[in-house]
Amino acid sequence: MKVGVPKEVKNHEYRVAITPIGVHELVAHGHEVVIETQAGAGSGIPDDEFHAAGARILPDPDSVWGEADMVLKVKEPVAEEYQRMREGLTLFTYLHLAADKPLTEELLARRVTGIAYETVQSPSGALPLLYPMSEVAGCLAPQVGAHALLKAQGGSGVLLGGVGGVANAKVVIIGAGVSGQNAANIALGMGADVTLLDTDLDKLRMSFWRYNNQVHGMASSKLAIEQHVTQADMVIGAVLIPGAAAPKLVSNELVSRMKPGSVLVDIAVDQGGCFEDTHPTTHADPTFPVHNSIFYCVANMPGAVPFTSTYALTNATMPYAVALANKGWEQACRDDASLALGLNTHAGALTNAPVGAAVGIDAVSVESVLGA
């Protein structure tokens, strides 16, 4: 199979979908890898390293997309890339279609086989290809939130850790999954007073032991969210329903009652966000005001730390990419039920029910596409 890796074009997206180790692995299995020049530069991987591992370097994205049987990416295609998609192409990347009806329609119209990292799901319910970037986004959230809290950035001027005689900042994290737990870990390390909200009591019990009861674990409800958010200096939204649009848990009216200069960081923005006023922003222009609060809603947060993110992501994705290249998408999905759940589109059909519910398009079952 010919595997193509274009350079990412999203605003300040420095990650790349493969490393030289991944190239070497694919080539060792008899596949050809073509990579757009400078695709790895943002992650500190020069063309020479890809070439030494066995890749062929191409001068432009049209060449990469045009030659490839399967395209590996990090982020979902944006409008300028739509015309490069074609029937028969397998696209393996983050898609986040529940929050992107135009892309969903393009994939269907162009009859692309779209396999989404974020909906590959193990029998335990874990999301192995989302996990590493959830870790990174969770770790970043308190850092970017602390920056936005600076008075010069429009925040309240509260120091997360406080000092002797002055209260620590109150950080409220909604969602105790992978990103929420990592956010709690960093916020606690920065000295904040941290509260973690979730409806899953087992996750809260785990955080009790993990943080030696230093993080306040609270059962989440509409009233609990209201009580804690209105007292918070920083709110981190870390709610995820696999494949589906994130629930809106913090209303505009609730934000109007928050402390002036408070900051809200929405990690769930890729899935539409869990705050009513969330809309995607970029690293170039990351924040916007809502009432007297500051929203940070960058849709590719891990792109800010590409060295860590690229290697963490490709460690997880490459075994699946090799399986897809070795067997073809259809047999690879038949052999691996976890990978099959990643199938979102094929030959004009939508194959993910939560996405269909979010974008208003009827979905068919993965089984109907894969047959026996």
Residues carrying an active site annotation: 96, 270
310 token code pair: 């690229």
Cα torsion for 204, 207, 212, 214, to the nearest 10°? -80
3-state secondary structure at position 231:
coil
Q: Kindly tell me the sign of the dihedral angle through the C-alpha atoms of 334, 336, 338, 339.
A: negative
Say how far apart CA 213 and CA 206 lie, in whole Å.
10
CA angle centred on 207, ends 206 and 212, rounded to 5°: 110
Classify strands 343-346 and 113-116 as parallel, antiparallel or unpaired. Answer: antiparallel
Whats the size of the chain, residue-wise? 372
266 closest CA partner among 222, 292, 229? 229
Query: Quick one: three-class SS letters along 105-171?
Result: HHHHHCCCEEEEHHHCCCCCCCCCCCHHHHHHHHHHHHHHHHHHCCHHHCCCCCCCCCECCECCCEE
211 closest CA partner among 231, 230, 184? 184
Yes or no: say if 97 and 352 are a contact pair by the CB < 8 Å rule.
yes
Tokens 């500051």 correspond to: 294
Say how far apart CA 24 and CA 304 lie, in whole Å.
26
